[in-house]
Amino acid sequence: MGMFNAINDASLWGNQYQGRGGMMNKGKFIYHNIGHSYDDPQLDDVRGIQEIRYGIQMALPAFQSEIEAYGLSPNEFKEQLFKTGIHESNEGVDNRQITSDGKADGKGRGWWMIEADTAMYLLQGGGSKLSDKYIGDDANAVLRQYGLNRKDLHKLGKNDPGLLGDIIQSRPAVGALFAGAKYISKIRNSDELKDKLR
């Protein structure tokens, strides 16, 4: 990845995924993604990076309708999810957020550090009730491959957010699905995101 692309990708992540566009955060994103070649999956020797690739591969069909509707490039969308997973997981090392005391007990779960509150927001389409706005039928079909569905995940998140976090953390495809939905939830209002992912 060249420096220009790295800066654009970091900006997209900071503004659309993280919600904080600070230079320090973007610098860390660039650090995790530049200077490392992840072009050949056969060379991935870190289990976390292998799981990030697997999760994206399994979750990508969940966004087929949005990719077509918004004229996005499946490869660009996949690449942004990959770079986000690489950064959020500290290059495939951490699948639970490290808190300020150095313990892996934070709210962010899985390779994309999805919090249960974020998952619930996406399951509810930004409202207060279960919705298919961001986790639609295509996403539900992906979830069914793992014996899950959006209705049960929503109920679980209302009753025990920790268990919802456990599912996100233990199933890479579910983490990738929520990470993709997080980007998709922003796409309607972001020309930056649409332009980058085309």
* Contact (Cβ atoms closer than 8 angstroms) between residue 105 and residue 136: no
* Contact (Cβ atoms closer than 8 angstroms) between residue 153 and residue 89: no
pLDDT at residue number 117: 96
Give 85-102 pLDDT, tens digit per residue.
Answer: 999 999 999 999 988 888
Q: Per-residue pLDDT averaged across 120-134, rounded?
A: 96
pLDDT at residue number 2: 55
Please say if the pLDDT value at position 103 is more than 80.
Answer: yes
Extract the tokens encoding 142: 């992906």
Give 8-41 pLDDT, tens digit per residue.
Answer: 888 888 888 887 667 777 888 888 877 666 767 7
With helix as H, strand as E and coil as C, how does 38-79 read? Answer: CCCHHHCCCHHHHHHHHHHHHHHHHHHHHHHHCCCCHHHHHH
Q: Per-residue pLDDT averaged across 134-149, rounded?
A: 96
pTM reported for the whole predicted model: 0.90
The domain spans of the chain are 46-196
pLDDT at residue number 29: 84
Q: Compute the distance between CA of residue 56 and CA of residue 180 in angstroms, rounded to an integer.
A: 9
**How many percent of the chain have pLDDT more than 70?**
91
Cα dihedral sign, 44-47-55-169: negative
pLDDT at residue number 3: 60
Q: Per-residue pLDDT averaged across 50-56, rounded?
A: 96
Q: Compute the distance between CA of residue 83 and CA of residue 15 in angstroms, rounded to an integer.
A: 15
Q: Compute the distance between CA of residue 102 and CA of residue 87 in angstroms, rounded to an integer.
A: 18
Give the angle subtended at the CA of 122 by the CAs of 145 and 12, to the nearest 5°.
Answer: 105
**How many percent of the chain have pLDDT more than 90?**
59
What's the length of the chain? 198
Q: Per-residue pLDDT averaged across 134-157, rounded?
A: 97
Extract the tokens encoding 139: 């996403």
List the alpha helices (DSSP H) in 60-135. 64-69, 74-88, 116-123
pLDDT at residue number 196: 67
Give 172-193 pLDDT, tens digit per residue.
Answer: 999 999 999 999 998 866 666 6
Cα distances (Å, whole numbers) of residue 87 to 138, 153, 158: 26, 26, 29
Please say if the pLDDT value at position 162 is more than 90.
Answer: yes
